[in-house]
Structure 1
Amino acid sequence: MKYNFQEWLKTEISDDPEVILAGKLEYLRLYLTDAMRSLREKAGLTQGQLAEKLGVQQAAVSKLESSLKDHKLESVLDYLHKLNADLLVAVRQEDELIQVSDNDGMILIDLPEEIEDLAEVEKMSLREYILAAIQNFSQKKVSVREFIESDDKVAVKVRMKLANKSLSEIASELEKMWQISDEDDRRFAVKKLLAGGVSVGSNNRDISDQNEEDRIELLELAEELLEKLDNIFEEQE
């Protein structure tokens, strides 16, 4: 029998805190020992064979797999370790989830119920659905327009500098500038655009009307923007 601890936690068994705690402990034992037995059986081991690996008597393994007994955390971890399994544990208080697992390579997250429904619609396990979503997200290519519209701090600064231009105009100008083959000319074109909205094709290199502080700020923003554009176009190749 497979137990669903999370579903059980949603049921109202009593208003008495002590009864609720006792119920949680009992159900957690059922949930844990059922998982432990399943792991051992999946490994093709009898209780006696696992006991030999643990260096204990078969009765000790039987006790560990019994939901009627108290369990020491160290014994449970040793049991799982011999089966190449990890215990993943998290503590939740209101909206905060703190992981205290013995495996840093695994992360527990608190998912809304809607995610499980979406996975069911796609006929995927919850794990399969999440992994697919992560892969799709990591492969998503960001366009120049999407970057300019984003909350990225560089994009915000660019929008402020070019407030007299529409987002489409800014994106179009930057895409044209990236087609300039000479790196120095490309850098200069971006600086000129930020300095005064000069379009691609202008060869006026005079930006001396700015004071030193503004000029340094402009140069820094231009370099940051060029780095962002480099990443965007590199991903699109």
Structure 2
Amino acid sequence: MRDRAPVAPQPELDDDVADDARGARGFTLLEVMIAVAILSMSLTSLLSSQMAAMRATRYARGVSVAAFLAESKLLDLEAQLLVEGWGTADKTFEGEFNEEGWPDIRYECLVDFIEVPDFSVLQQAKDNADTDGAGAGGMFVAGADDQAFSGIGMVWPMIKGAIEQGIRKPSCTVYWTDGALEHEFTVETFWTDVKQLNQLPQAGGEVDGTDDAEEDPADPAGGGGGGGAGGGTGAGGRGGGTTPTGQPGIGGPTGPRGGLK
């Protein structure tokens, strides 16, 4: 029977050496799969955020370009129609911005003719809105309203003509594509013809700039000023004169100089 060789005792490993030995084995397959899954979700979220930011930047750029192009086209149309005339009907314009360097962007512009209703339409609307007044007070107010409305009717043709010939409402819609989507941006404004609108003061809207001037105390005729552009002078109490419609002026409370407050 053979004698076995004695086995040399193994030296005891301290805690640090034992930890290093276990760490050298690496990660398990489950740990690697979990780490890859976390990394994939993080990268997907980052890429989605980056793509959203790029789309927002591209859309903002398109809106800025569309706004400037629409404003430029409205200015061009205004200069063109000042030469050709506004006309008495709606006008439409459409095309692309080839000359501006944006052939993929198109526009549709509308110059809207503002049609003011006839006075008969306003009269009908007023009659439909009137209600029976209760007592003498309601009758007095209704009578005053009728007088004022009749005065408006005498100058309404002038007001209607000045507004229809002196104001236009243009709008320009710009279209551009971003991939499979088509975006649009609309700019609206108003054009005015000062020469036509200057006719409105002749309808009773002109204000006399000398109303607040100092009056001569030696003037025996008191400074009673009527309302609007047709204010007559009165001696003391109610201001006389007539309004631009030919109707007698309506007096009011008197001021310290005898005129209307």
Same fold (TM over 0.5): no
Higher relative contact order (CA 8 A, sep 6+): 2
- TM-score of the two chains, using structure 1 as the length reference: 0.19
Going by fraction, where is helix more abundant, 1 or 2?
Answer: 1
Q: Please give the TM-score of this superposition, normalised by the length of structure 2.
A: 0.17
Query: Greater strand share, 1 or 2?
Result: 2
Larger radius of gyration: 2
